Amino acid sequence: MAGGKETPRQKMIGMMYLVLTALLALNVSNAVLEKFAILDTTLGELRMDEEGANVSKNRTIQDSGSKSPQVIDAKKRALEVRDLTQKTIARLDDFKVKLRQDHEGKEMESEELILNTNIAEEKMLNANNPQLGEDFEKLLVNYVDSLKTITRISSFKKLNKKAEDYDEFRNNEHHKEKDFLHFTFEGTPTMAAITVISQLQTEVLEYEATALDSLAKIADAVQLKVDTYVPMVIPEAATVAAGAKYKAKMFVAASASGIIPTMKRNGQQLSVIDDPETKLKVASFEFVASASNYGPGDVSKQSYNAEITLKLGKDTTIRRSIEYFVVKPTIKVTTGNAPTLYMNCGNSVNIDVPSLGTNYNPTYAAKGAVVVAGPKASQPVIIPKEKKVFLTVSSGGATLGTEPFDVKPIPKPSFVVKNALGKDVDRRNGEKSGNLANLRVNAEPEPNFKQEVPKDAVYRIKEVLVTLARGTSPQGGGPKTFTSENIDISAWRSVMRPGDIISIDIRKVTRRTFEGQEEPVNIRDEIIKFVVQ
For the chain, the domains span 8-219, 228-326, 332-408, 414-531
Q: Is 63 exposed, middle or buried (0-12, 13-18, 19+ CB in 10 A)?
A: middle
Contacts of 328 (CB under 8 A, 6+ apart): 291, 294, 298, 299, 300, 400, 401
Please give the C-alpha separations between residue 273 and each of 77, 221, 257, 528, in angstroms, as whole numbers: 29, 20, 11, 82
For residue range 58-92, what is the model confidence (pLDDT) as tens digits?
Answer: 998 888 777 778 889 999 999 999 999 999 999 99
pLDDT at 463: 95
Domain range 332-408, CATH architecture: Sandwich (2.60)
CA Rg value for the chain: 42
Separation between Cα atoms, residue 102 and residue 38, nearest integer Å = 21
pLDDT band, residue 221 (cuts 50/70/90) = very low
Q: Which of 233-242, 425-434, 474-483, 510-519 has the lowest mean pLDDT?
A: 233-242
For residue range 324-337, what is the model confidence (pLDDT) as tens digits?
Answer: 777 776 777 765 44
192 compared with 24, residue with greater pLDDT: 192
Helices (H), 29-68: 31-62
DSSP 431: B
Q: Which residues pair with 341 in a beta bridge?
A: 407
For residue range 372-429, what is the model confidence (pLDDT) as tens digits?
Answer: 999 888 899 999 999 999 999 998 888 888 889 999 999 999 999 999 999 999 999 9
Please give the C-alpha separations between residue 162 and each of 25, 159, 169, 190, 333, in angstroms, as whole numbers: 14, 9, 9, 19, 72
Phi-psi region of 115 (alpha: psi -120 to 50; beta: other; left: phi over 0): alpha
Measured at the CA of 520, the angle between CA 516 and CA 523, to 5 degrees, comes to 135
Residue 351 is which amino acid? I
The most confident of the ranges 249-263, 343-357, 473-487 is 473-487
Are the C-beta atoms of 195 and 16 separated by less than 8 Å? Answer: no
Angle, helices 131-151 vs 69-99, to 10°: value is: 170
pLDDT at 26: 47
For residue range 456-513, what is the model confidence (pLDDT) as tens digits?
Answer: 999 999 999 999 999 889 999 999 999 999 999 999 988 999 999 999 999 999 999 9
Residue 126 backbone dihedrals phi, psi, to 5 degrees: -75, 110
Q: Is the pLDDT reported for residue 1 higher than 50? A: no
Q: CA 45 from chain center: how many Å?
A: 25
User: Integer distance in angstroms from the first to the last C-alpha of the chain?
Assistant: 106
Are the C-beta atoms of 448 and 456 separated by less than 8 Å? Answer: no
Say what the pTM is: 0.46
Are the C-beta atoms of 270 and 283 separated by less than 8 Å? Answer: yes
Residue 484 backbone dihedrals phi, psi, to 5 degrees: -155, 180
pLDDT at 239: 58
